[in-house]
Amino acid sequence: MHIDIQYLPSLEYCAVIFAEPQIEFEVFENFPKQTYRNRSYILGANGVELLSIPIIQSASGKQLTKDVQIDYSQDWIRKHKGAIQAAYGKAPFFEHVEPFIDQIFAKKSKFLVDLNIQFLNTIARFLQKKPQFSFTETFHEAPVNSLWNVIDSKKEYSTRNIYNPVVYRQCFGTEFVANLSVLDLIMNYGIESREILQKSLNK
């Protein structure tokens, strides 16, 4: 499966990649702004919250995803950790998951790709299912078995017919919110998250 690499990715994205034996991440694309590559959505007391990682802009305005560097001049780590704590501090698996999140943030990875792959490896650990991850070495625009640029935050998941939400218990709200970050599911269900993801994938 050929796909872009995303930050604390959505349930739709995780349902896809963790059903595949091999995943190739497209990193030679021109980095697009305002996408899941550096954005994620969690559920807090006030509703859905956006977590966005600031990046260092290139002089030309264009750069490859593999070259995108994270901007640590902004206090985004404290904000993300605070939002995650507020949203999931009382979730059943928070104490199991939170130390791994802290460790990844503490490394202050220079490149966005490195941060994202660390989170994906951690997610795989909690799901107890690890595809073989690799990165493109050149740009592949339209290979066979590709979802590159398909799972897009600008479009509703329902338009893609990939993900069929399975309702599960969430920390806040009276109505279920679908397709949040996989963090929302893992914080509440731990290893059981894998079965919920499998059931949510349209086949």
**For residue 160, what are the domain limits?**
2-200
User: What pLDDT is recorded for position 4?
Assistant: 97
User: What pLDDT is recorded for position 61?
Assistant: 84
Number of compact structural domains in the chain: 1
199 pLDDT tier (thresholds 50, 70, 90): very high
- Which residues lie below 8 Å from residue 4, measured CB to CB, with a gap of 6+? 25, 26, 29, 35, 36, 37, 65, 148, 149, 151
User: What pLDDT is recorded for position 59?
Assistant: 86
31 pLDDT tier (thresholds 50, 70, 90): very high
User: What pLDDT is recorded for position 18?
Assistant: 96
pLDDT tens per residue across span 86-145: 999 999 999 999 999 999 999 999 999 999 999 999 999 999 998 999 999 999 877 888
pLDDT tens per residue across span 145-195: 899 999 998 899 999 999 999 999 999 999 999 999 999 999 999 999 999
User: What pLDDT is recorded for position 164?
Assistant: 96
User: What pLDDT is recorded for position 88?
Assistant: 98
Greatest alpha-carbon pair distance for the chain in Å reads: 46
User: What pLDDT is recorded for position 140?
Assistant: 87
pTM recorded for the entire structure: 0.95
